Amino acid sequence: ANSNAGGMTSEVLDDYEEGTWTPDITTGSEGISFSYMEGKYFKIGNWVWIHCGFKISSIASIQTYSCKIYGLPYTGANYGSYQEPMGLVIGGGFATSALGQSGLAFYKVNGNSDLGARRLDGNADTAINNNAVFQVGTFMKLQMGYYTA
């Protein structure tokens, strides 16, 4: 590059990384097995783009708690209320069949390495528990970006 755009401070790409991560949807006691699991990411500066996908093949027991995806590759920044990055889920086989019609999204929980689930209903988003989302046969893919802390 040979000219700076307004506000640009550098033309050098000096912080690039890509790798894999392991999406985790449990608190450790459910005994969930997967027939497919993938997590990839790339990071440029303080911007992280993630991709994850999985399909549940068995569940020993499902607990009732807020549905989350744990273990993101980087801790996220703190965002203001209703300003958190959000990614829509493509998937099926949900425990609540209406999720396939109303929509399911995950948002970046402020200041940590979790994603929280939201059911999209009309003009609102509603927190949802994992036992309303996951069951044997649930599959999903999610892509989204967020800023690091």
pLDDT mean over 144-148:
93
- Check pLDDT > 70 for residue 98: no
- Check pLDDT > 90 for residue 81: no
Q: Residue 112's pLDDT is what?
A: 87
Q: What is the pTM of this model?
A: 0.83
> b/e per residue, 55-93, with b = 16+ CB within 10 A?
bbeebeebeeeebbbbebbbebeebeeeebbbbebebeb
Q: Residue 147's pLDDT is what?
A: 92
Lowest mean pLDDT, pick from 1-5, 76-80, 92-96, 113-117: 1-5
- Check pLDDT > 60 for residue 2: no
Distance CA 11, CA 98 (A): 47
Report whether 67 contacts 132 (CB < 8 A).
Answer: yes
pLDDT mean over 62-86:
85
Share of residues in the chain with pLDDT > 70 (%): 85
Confidence category of residue 3, pLDDT binned at 50, 70, 90: low
Among 43-47, 89-93, 115-119, the range with the most confident prediction by mean pLDDT is 43-47
- Check pLDDT > 90 for residue 48: yes
